[in-house]
Structure 1
């Protein structure tokens, strides 16, 4: 039951070239930076990453992207990374853009064994009809576009509507960051840093969690646990001094 691994490097040592990864974080909040750094140091590439976004140039997934280690991204928001946009438009990176709530549910569904689900989100748009560029060609044309999805009429809460079928996501590995964790893999996330971390952890066949505070089994109140250890295979203690950034610092003018 002791799932603790000695170092971030040891925790990601078996992730191979071309692996699929679900990576927690939202913007620059709750990102498993130490695991990403360790994976970058290993030199593996061709990674197929599922994450809400792709960090910035020198932080989070951005360091893997800058060294061309990522082959494809499934994301919701990528607007803060100029290199991401450049690689996508140049045909160097395949990108599947997914509505944020749909992405969250695809990960949750994968983690709970639900193969697919219907949602109204995206009906009547290219999300359902297909045609969204997934990869551009060198000449600027669309090399690969999204296919159309199944749409059907259903009744929800007594009202008829149109719904699109979305398939669940599972990945070979998941990398997540938690504020606290015990040796059994039970995790507690700090406020908004919870974001996509529990969902990514659920979707990974092998989930690796970096934790700031490692405690013994029984020290976490069961009512405080956000993710049970059944979803976590490895835990690595990184301490409280990991780098944390604010994506956009906004302050209010002082009252006069």
Structure 2
């Protein structure tokens, strides 16, 4: 059985200054919001964060950003966050922007133990500057190196005490790949089950990728509310 933390502060207490962390989620959908809040409280700094985006100004990874705890952000989208824009323009934070598919594949490759791969995305653009390129079947490709992290933080809908995870619909997004690419993966879960209670055919992340669990209730904020008249 995997370690089940009793507090979120305890779950993140080993994350040190200068760590590289991957964080699941797409916008605010599926983010491990309580683990992020606990990380804000620690004051840990000089983090390299790998995630699709950096949350919004007042929630998610945006809180770490506002607290000046992120040294470098690796992602594919910078919208919805004015503080992120301000820090980029003022040179307060280093940013590596990638095509979303390339980001996903770099994370997937890292979890699979594949050190690098070739992709046509980004060829002929600033993304390819300084990177090796090759031609295959008459088409140019750029070499992209895999991404791994010291810690991966993900959120799942259900987990058993072995650490097998099930995500809820689109909250699944980047999380299965991110869970596999972290040296230590901590999963924030909504419901915890005994071993054998989850259908093995429904598991999205096998327990081999998960080192620790913590149960918590999420606010599940909506990034942009859209209603019809």
TM-score range, shorter chain: over 0.9
Alignment of 1:1-256 (within 5 A): 1-128=1-128, 130=129, 148-155=130-137, 160-238=138-216, 241-253=217-229
Q: CA deviation at 1:250?
A: 2.0
Deviation at 1:198, TM superposition (A): 1.1
C-alpha displacement at 1:127, in angstroms? Answer: 1.2
1:28-68 per-position Cα deviation (integer Å, ceiling 9, x unaligned): 10000000111111111111100000011111011111010
Displacement of 1:24 in angstroms is 0.5
Counterpart CA distance in 2 for 1:115 and 1:230 is 20
The count of corresponding residues between Structure 1 and Structure 2 is: 229
Runs of 4+ in 1 over 6 A off after TM superposition: none
In 1, the alpha carbon distance for the partners of 2:31 and 2:144 equals 26
The alignment partner of 1:92 has SS state of: coil
Give ranges in structure 1 of 5+ residues lacking alignment.
131-147
CA distance in 2, matches of 1:7, 1:199: 25
User: Structure 1 residue 6: deviation in Å?
Assistant: 1.5
| TM-score normalised by structure 2 residue count | 0.98
1:145 match:
none
| Whole-Å separation in 2 of the counterparts to 1:181 and 1:124 | 44
Cα distance between partner residues in 2 of 1:5 and 1:185: 12
SS state of the match for residue 48, structure 2?
Answer: strand
What's the CA shift for 1:191?
A: 0.4
Q: Secondary structure at the match of 2:147?
A: coil
- RMSD value, Cα: 0.9
Larger radius of gyration: 1
